[in-house]
A and B are shown apart, each in its own frame.
Chain A
Amino acid sequence: MTELPENNRAGKEAPSSAPDPFDLSNLRLSQSYTETAGVKKLLTTVPVRKPNPQDWVRVHPDPLMRENFPLIELKDEREEYVVAGTLVSELVGEFVSKTLYTTVNRQGVVSLWPVRLPDPDGREMEWHRSAREAAETAMTGWVRCKANRSLGAYEIFQANSCIAEPVWPELDFQQIIRIAFRDRLITSLDHPVIKRLRGLA
């Protein structure tokens, strides 16, 4: 703003030290609340589950954001436990190997999607193959998958419209795994899950 009222235009200049309400460029305060609020959303809960049938999801396309793990699933509780590498040989038959995909839904909820790997002999059920196909498809577009018992596989639905790209957490896969399994890591044979499986608890 450069124009001044009539009585100021008459040649009288404000002293350099006097505040000037006409010099608005020097008065403007920042509105950058994103920088000044100093608030960061923490990721403290990461569910391990397959997407529900209504959820549209994306899978992180980076290979570093997925990994295979030996998991024990408690069916009744719908809980997945990770078996430590040192116990794998002692728990053969108790765990199954699954790929954990980093996933996000339209509401921005980050989760790990467990998909069973083929058996060592290469056999794979249609349920697991179709789930893996859905996860692979979700790396490039929004996907919804729904179990079809008659079909014996998941039906995969892909969104036709170009929905906005997901926002991924800033954490790496290791950190996500730590959050997801912080209370569900089996590191000894005394673990309550193992005791239950062996009828000791």
Chain B
Amino acid sequence: MSALPASFREIVVIDFEFEVGHGERPVPICLVAKELCSGRTYRVFQSEFGAGPPYATGPDVLFVAYYASAELGCYKVLGWPTPERILDLFTEFRNLTNGLPPPAGASLLGALTYFGIDGIGANEKKEMQTALGKGTWAGVYTPEEILDYCESDVLALERLLSVMLPNIDLPRALLRGRYMGATAAIEHAGVPVDTDTLDLLRDKWVSIQDQLIAGIDSQYHVYEGRTFKQERFAKFLETHDIPWPRLESGALDLGDDTFRQMAKARPQNSALRELRSALSELRLNDLAVGSDGRNRTILSAFRSRSGRNQPSNTKFIFGPSVWLRGLIKPPPGYAVAYIDWSQQEFGIAGALSGDSKMMDAYSSGDPYLTFAKQAQAVPADATKKSHPNERELFKQCVLATQYGMQAESLAARIGQPPIVARDLLRMHRETYRTFWAWSDAALDHAMLHGSLHTVFGWRVHVGEMSNPRSLRNFPMQANGAEMLRVACCLGIERGVEICAPVHDAVLICAPVERLDADIETMRAAMAEASRIVLGGFELGSDVSITRWPDRYADARGAVMWARVMGLIGNE
């Protein structure tokens, strides 16, 4: 390899083999590492793991891996310090191909295929990989065979590094690597779960479904047995004068996204959405809870187009069924705090576009009402109390622009004629002209130059199927993801136990005596992250605390949770 970065004393390419049970931390089986400057290879099997890695560490040592959080999860279990300079070829491969899906996926084999590098005995690897992951390798494969297999991945990774390195923006790649270190710490921690209630729920879930439907459906009358009947739902909407989005075919749009949006606009529909989601998607046995009572699954960092995490909906407690979050419960003596940025997307849009009116609206603390005032739709002394309806309309308008919603959809959401929605959207365009000019320019930039990028170089490439609305929204979503990553790095490095990143929020866990200090540390980290990403503009955050013996509660799932708990006798 001729083009190794000269600024590093050592460059170590590594791979672990490990077992991992459902919801458990990894159990390292072996490690193979190759130091590229000297050509020296380290092969370490289970019983030989020491107090630290066998190779050099420090800021002048480059740690190279493919999907580094997995290797760093093993570091955590072994008690080894997180490397300071991490280059993850997975994140860089994702960044290289984001928006243009590679033909063989984004696994190591997929990346090798993409670059025309021989993947070496892929099928044979798969069998061994399965055996290793499940812990059924003992007696089937010898340590030497496993080490050889592991070393073949290291050698493949070395070749991949060689072809990828010339096109890697190393300083920013290392920032992404730094986040993979934080991800490993978050996965190591996991989310504390009330396992007694989970066991009860798993035991009774099938048997309570009919009662659950009967209980919740008594408000809606849209189920026939366990079947959701579209014509009954149409009648329910008509009776209650609720406008509902339709598909091009004219049929009601029954997608979960639509239900979620409509439940936000009309919270009384939340229970129905939760019920539908629970009946169709909930697989309680898939929820990954380890023997330590922590929900733990691979966060799938950088998997989504915006660069956000994309953990499994069924394995992760923060999946789509919000009522299930009632299972989150701090252990005795502990508390959890959910900390989220206030109106993050609105703040990002204002700050990155340089729209001073939008920034003023954000800084006012009530961007929706301030927007209404800026548009001269309410008097300057209007308050949330004096003009609740107007505020709600302008709030829905702001949210609609964030989703790229058109007038018809907004009209359905606010239950007003399209002309009202059009006027609202027009007022947004007129009030925030600088933002819209910037948003138009972002789309132009994407179409002209073939990509958009965040402040730290996460890129989306414009493919044949690129959606203009999604491209317009990319700067807000992807820079929001950058902000969360920076905040997680800062929080973890400052000693906060982050259990889960959730879109624009984090869940942290702390002993009650340390809770206030940790919340302050985390909020400061989030404020700092916002200033870093937004060129000095600071976003505020809100905190919701749950102390043992209470459980976490999400208002959107409250009805469903109470109903389910009643049915399983766990009120």
Q: Which of A12-20, A60-68, A78-86, A88-96 contacts B (4 or more CB under 8 A)?
A: A12-20
In the bound complex, CA of A61 to CA of B29 (Å): 79
A20 adjacent to B457 (CB under 8 Å): no
In the bound complex, CA of A164 to CA of B431 (Å): 7
Q: Is A7 at the interface (CB under 8 A from chain B)?
A: yes
Q: List residues of A (1-38) whose CB comes within 8 Å of B's CBs.
A: 1, 3-8, 12-15, 17-22, 24-29, 31-34, 36-38
Q: Is A175 at the interface (CB under 8 A from chain B)?
A: no
Distance in angstroms from B357 CB to nearest chain A CB is: 10
Closest to B533 in A: A28
In the bound complex, CA of A90 to CA of B454 (Å): 65
Specify which of B171, B430, B475, B486 is in contact with A163 (CB 8 Å cutoff): B430
Specify which of B58, B175, B438 is in contact with A34 (CB 8 Å cutoff): B438
Q: Is A167 at the interface (CB under 8 A from chain B)?
A: yes
Q: Is B233 at the interface (CB under 8 A from chain A)?
A: no
Q: Is A162 at the interface (CB under 8 A from chain B)?
A: yes
B448 adjacent to A37 (CB under 8 Å): yes
- Please encode chain A, from 147 to 175, with 1 for each CB lying within 8 Å of some chain B CB and 0 for all others: 00000000000000111100100000000
A12 adjacent to B532 (CB under 8 Å): no
In the bound complex, CA of A4 to CA of B494 (Å): 9
Specify which of A8, A39, A163 is in contact with B376 (CB 8 Å cutoff): A163
Specify which of B375, B444, B532 is in contact with A39 (CB 8 Å cutoff): B444
A4 adjacent to B493 (CB under 8 Å): yes
Residue of B59, B86, B456 with most chain A CB atoms under a 10 A cut-off: B59
A residues near B59, Cβ cutoff 8 Å:
8, 12-15, 18, 20
Closest to B176 in A: A21
In the bound complex, CA of A15 to CA of B9 (Å): 9
B376 adjacent to A161 (CB under 8 Å): yes
- Please encode chain A, from 112 to 149, with 1 for each CB lying within 8 Å of some chain B CB and 0 for all others: 00000000000000000000000000000000000000
| Chain A interface SS verdict (over half) | loop
Closest to B448 in A: A37
B475 adjacent to A31 (CB under 8 Å): yes
A residues near B60, Cβ cutoff 8 Å:
14-15, 18
Band of interface residues on A: 35 or more
Q: Is B170 at the interface (CB under 8 A from chain A)?
A: yes
Specify which of B7, B376, B533 is in contact with A15 (CB 8 Å cutoff): B7
Residue of A5, A6, A162, A163 with most chain B CB atoms under a 10 A cut-off: A5
Given contacts A25-B532, A27-B456, A162-B376, is CB(A33)–CB(B442) below 8 Å? yes
A residues near B171, Cβ cutoff 8 Å:
19-21, 26-27
B431 adjacent to A18 (CB under 8 Å): no
In the bound complex, CA of A6 to CA of B430 (Å): 50
A residues near B475, Cβ cutoff 8 Å:
31, 33
In the bound complex, CA of A22 to CA of B85 (Å): 10
Given contacts A33-B442, A36-B445, A167-B433, is CB(A17)–CB(B6) below 8 Å? yes
B residues near A164, Cβ cutoff 8 Å:
375, 430-431, 433
Q: Is B426 at the interface (CB under 8 A from chain A)?
A: yes
Q: Is B562 at the interface (CB under 8 A from chain A)?
A: no
Q: Is B437 at the interface (CB under 8 A from chain A)?
A: yes
In the bound complex, CA of A20 to CA of B455 (Å): 16
Q: Is A50 at the interface (CB under 8 A from chain B)?
A: no
B residues near A167, Cβ cutoff 8 Å:
433
A residues near B377, Cβ cutoff 8 Å:
161
Residues of A near any B CB (own CB < 8 A): 1, 3-8, 12-15, 17-22, 24-29, 31-34, 36-39, 106, 161-164, 167
Q: List 22 A-B contacts (CB under 8 A).
A: A5-B84, A15-B59, A18-B5, A18-B7, A18-B59, A19-B85, A19-B171, A21-B85, A21-B175, A21-B177, A24-B456, A25-B532, A29-B454, A31-B352, A33-B444, A33-B445, A33-B475, A37-B448, A38-B448, A39-B441, A39-B448, A161-B376
